Amino acid sequence: METEIVFDKSVRKNILNLLDKDINDDSLIVEKDNPKQKVLTFDGQEISIEEFGGVKKGSEVFIKNNLVSLIKFSKS
């Protein structure tokens, strides 16, 4: 059985905070303890707070909230 959590845009920053992530001046997701280190998606792209769609279970693979990213992710 898989667990799925759906969240509203208003809680994105709270979720990232729980994952020890922060947002830099360019609205990109970064490591809280090293703000120069940007978080990357499963295909190596930087990801902004507006693009944040979720995190893969058991890892820190971030997923953008668009159809192309979801399709690519489902095939990986």
Residue 4's pLDDT is: 58
DSSP H or E stretch at residue 46: none
CA distance linking residue 4 with residue 35, whole number of Å: 29
Q: Indicate the pTM of the whole model.
A: 0.71
Interval 54-67: pLDDT, tens: 887 666 777 788 87
Helix, coil or strand: residue 4? coil
DSSP H or E stretch at residue 21: strand 21-23
Interval 17-33: pLDDT, tens: 988 999 999 999 999 99
